[in-house]
A and B are shown apart, each in its own frame.
Chain A
Amino acid sequence: MAKKAVVLVGTKKGAFILESNSRRQKWKLSGPFCEHWPMNHVAADAAAGAIYGAGGNEWFGPAVWKSTDLGKTWSHSSKGLAYPEGETPVKTVWSVAAGHGRIYAGVEPAGLFASDDAGETWRQIEGLQKHPSRPQWQPGGAGLILHSIVLHPDDPKQFWIGISAVGVFHSADGGKTWQTRNKGTRADFLPEGQRYPEFGQCVHCLVMAPGKPNRLYQQNHCGMYRSDDGGENWLSIEKGLPSSFGFPAATHPRDPDKLFLLPLNGADQGRYPPGAKVAVWRTDDCGAHWQDMRDGLPAEHAFFGVMRQAMATDSLKPAGVYFGASTGAVYASPDEGAEWTCIAENLPAISSIETMVVEA
Chain B
Amino acid sequence: MTNPVKVRLPALLVALFPTAERLLELEVGDVDELMNALDARWPGMRDRLCDSTPAVRRHINVFVDGKRAALTTPLRPGADVFVLTAVSGG
Contacts and interface: CB of A to CB of B under 8 A. Distances in A.
Contact of B49 (A60, A77, A86): A60
A82 B59 contact: no
Contacts, number: 52
A76 B16 contact: yes
Contacts of A58: 59, 88-89
Contact of A61 (B12, B43, B48): B48
Interface size bracket, B side: 20 to 34
Nearest to A79: B44
B2 interface: no
Contacts of A59: 12-13, 48, 57, 59-60, 85-86, 88
Contacts of A82: 47, 51-52
A35 B47 contact: no
Given A35-B12, A60-B16, A76-B16, A90 B52 contact: yes
A35 B52 contact: no
B40 interface: no
B52 A87 contact: yes
A143 interface: no
Contact of B44 (A76, A84, A87): A76
A177 interface: no
A85 B89 contact: no
A158 interface: no
A89 B58 CA distance: 11
B44 A60 contact: no
Contacts of A84: 52
Contacts of B59: 58-59
B14 to A, nearest CB: 11
6 smallest beta-carbon distances between A and B, as pairs: A89-B51, A82-B52, A60-B48, A58-B88, A89-B52, A59-B85
Interface of B: 12-13, 15-16, 43-44, 47-49, 51-54, 57, 59-60, 85-86, 88-89
6 contacts: A59-B48, A59-B60, A60-B60, A76-B16, A82-B51, A84-B52
